[in-house]
């Protein structure tokens, strides 16, 4: 049965960027949040900024390459808040290395962090949710995984395409036990990392000539979508990828 307690979420890669914004959206929606990141100091700082009281947001070090880390993070979440209702798989590498310059080692690293990390999170938290007959998983995919992207590397795009497939597989696995699994596929988002990685002139070209609505996506809307997909009423929404791309890719 669904818990009547206040909701609890863990977000990976949450110390900055989109993960940080998602944590803020969840806190505003009444969630308690575990801010996880491979950089524990940054996760601590983020949690303190998000929640001055220290009661609703806590931090933990989580390397998404490690299944043991996911298990430890789940145990920490349950020990701290009594239960967990939502996992947001957000952590990712976002390199923009030109196609013919990607080394085998870099390709494997990006696939391991982005795709394998997503798989491990779904595996560990999905089983916990299934055992409790309720849970929500939201995976961050990307426009890049649908049509190659506008500035990202081929390894990044490939990993995000894999995430959309994993979303369907895990959604089917848990469909009859009260657990939903969905993905969000943003196009270019107005976060510092995008402006840091994409040269200003190229970004301006993308906004004015590639994105039909001529604007970067608002990260707070993505946070709102996470909250919506995690709602009790979203129990029949599963296995879907939700596009937020300014009209670049329509289907």
Which residues are catalytic, by number? 156
| CA nearest to 215, candidates 225, 224, 223, 207 | 207
Report which of 157, 158, 164 is spatially closest to residue 240, judged by C-alpha positions.
Answer: 164
What b/e string do you get for 191-225 counting C-beta neighbours within 10 Å, with b at 16 or more? beebeeebeeeebeebbeebbeeeebbebeebbeb
Burial class (CB in 10 A: 0-12, 13-18, 19+), 151: middle
Name every residue whose Cβ is closer than 8 Å to that of residue 1 and which is 6 or more positions away in sequence: 133, 134
Query: Which residues, in sequence order, are bridge partners of residue 162?
Result: none
Helix, coil or strand: residue 32:
strand
């Amino acid at each position: 049965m669904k818990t009547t307690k206040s909701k609890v979420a863990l977000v990976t890669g949450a110390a900055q960027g989109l993960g940080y914004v998602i944590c803020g959206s969840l806190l505003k929606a009444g969630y308690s949040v575990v801010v996880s990141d491979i950089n524990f100091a940054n996760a601590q700082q983020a949690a303190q900024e998000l929640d001055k009281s220290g009661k609703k947001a806590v931090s933990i070090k989580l390397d998404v390459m490690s299944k043991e880390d996911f298990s430890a993070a789940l145990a920490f979440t349950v020990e701290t808040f009594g239960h967990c209702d939502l996992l947001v798989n957000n952590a990712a590498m976002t390199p923009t290395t030109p196609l013919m310059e990607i080394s085998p080692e870099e390709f494997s690293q990006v696939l391991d962090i982005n795709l394998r990390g997503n798989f491990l999170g779904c595996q560990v938290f999905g089983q916990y949710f299934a055992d409790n007959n309720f849970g929500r998983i939201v995976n961050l995919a990307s426009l890049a995984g649908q049509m190659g992207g506008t500035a990202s590397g081929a390894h990044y795009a490939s990993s995000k395409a894999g995430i959309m497939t994993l979303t369907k597989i895990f959604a089917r696995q848990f469909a009859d036990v009260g657990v939903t699994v969905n993905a969000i596929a943003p196009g270019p988002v107005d976060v510092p990392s995008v402006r840091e990685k994409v040269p200003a002139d190229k970004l301006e070209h993308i906004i004015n000539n590639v994105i039909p609505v001529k604007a970067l996506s608002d990260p707070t809307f993505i946070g709102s979508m996470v909250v919506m997909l995690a709602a009790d009423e979203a129990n029949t929404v599963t296995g879907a990828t939700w596009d937020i791309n300014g009209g670049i890719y329509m289907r």
